[in-house]
Amino acid sequence: MTIINCSNGENGVDASFELAEKTKEEANVYFKNQDYQQAIELYTKAIDLNGSSAIYYANRSFAYLKTECFGYAVLDATRAIEIDKNNVKGYYRRASAYMALNKPKLALRDYELVTRFRPNDKDAKIKYDECSKIVKRQAFEKAISVDSLQRSVADSIDLDTIVVEDSYDGPRIAEEGITPKFMEDLMKHFKEQKRLHRRYAYKILLDIKEYFMAKPSLIDVSIPESSKFTVCGDIHGQFYDLLNIFDLNGVPSESNPYLFNGDFVDRGSFSVECIFVLFGFKLLYPDHFFMARGNHESKTMNQMYGFEGEVKAKYNAQMAELFTEVYNWLPLCHCLNGRVLVMHGGLFSKDGVKLDDIRKIDRNRQPPDEGIMCELLWSDPQPQPGRSPSKRGVGCQFGPDVTTQFLDDNSLDCIIRSHEVKAEGYEVTHDGKCITVFSAPNYCDSMGNKGAFITMNGKDMKPSFTTFEAVAHPPVGAMAYANSIMNFFM
């Protein structure tokens, strides 16, 4: 608890409390205007003035949820509950954060308490019931899973048995495979809100899985001196913004190579369209189009944030399982001209990690809760030196000294990562050695941020940034296919 200076007597304490309340109200305004970072700063100021208010901690916890700082959200919600054991919002916030961290058992305890406090709250009852189902489902899946004996979904699919109806008017994959014309037709087809026939959808997934299985966890990319190379960050199912990137920067080709740095799906409600276009270009230009795994290319995230629900709605459950198999084989990072390392999340909780350590990672699995693979997908930079526990509750936060040491150990110039929303779509930190790029503008149809992509040439590898605003999309909002329990507005 913050100790308040009482040198001015009782009136001084009252003045501090009054100022704290005024600051909280100001923070609420910023929160309503979706300026969550400013809201967090003001809630923090209010807490400094009056650390005994459960409401301030509960409100800041909500703002942390909005910025995906789930670890911090848990801490603040817990503090609110410690101050006031009857603070229902604290239990709500903590339960939401636990769900985001894939800890449904812990969330269930909090939802149960909420239902006790509010027995007539229908939303609380729905969340409790849904969380209970998730806990039971995960227990069942764990009980029946035997990884060494589990048959691959890919092995059970026979394309020859999938008939393409005469009425289908969409793009078709010919015997020669994917062509530029197919990709052009596919993007037009998707833009018109039509679906790729499941025969061709399955073929893309089977072919891309076979391709990625033969590749290492770290991909070395050679960029000729005179060539342009583009790095994009999170897309998150924002298909129409993906098309806008291609309008601004040109469609992928052998002379216009791209790297998409993870989180292709979830949240945005056109994730199926995004992933098939990206996989299609990868198959068309395997040596000039690259994809890295993000923290959202995982089964648990897809179950919660919408991709699994979207695949089931547009295709079927079998295809959702096949996507999980494919994602397990996505490379974890790329090294550009031996100078720039690109990963989705960030660096590590321990010094001494070498590129060869990354190459040796057995990535064919769901992301673990700790270790090099986890941190590549989840970690974030921080401005201060050293390391800190992750604001997300997974991975770690690393300072400029950690970045410098890693680069020196591996003879690299800088790292490029994604994973975080940035107001301008990108951010350069750690004395220019750590660059964040995020390519989903107006993230979740609510954040108001710009998107960005990076271009560089092989000669000097200096990054150039292009920013862009969100474009209109059909009236299907973000999180339309997400699990209902992921509503953070309670």
Which amino acids are annotated catalytic?
Answer: 296
DSSP 8-state assignment for residue 85: T
Q: In whole angstroms, give the CA distance from residue 342 to residue 145.
A: 33
Q: In whole angstroms, give the CA distance from residue 75 to residue 468.
A: 35
Decide if 234 contacts 440 (C-beta within 8 A): yes
Decide if 415 contacts 434 (C-beta within 8 A): yes
**Exposed, middle or buried by CB within 10 Å (0-12, 13-18, 19+), for 5?**
exposed
Apex 93 CA angle, 90 and 96, nearest 5: 150
DSSP 8-state assignment for residue 296: T
**Cβ atoms within 10 Å, residue 254:** 11
Partners of 230 in the β-ladder: 258, 455
How many Cα atoms sit within 13 Å of 430 on the Cβ side? 27
Nearest to 247, CA basis, from 485, 13, 488, 468 = 468
Q: In whole angstroms, give the CA distance from residue 401 to residue 411.
A: 15
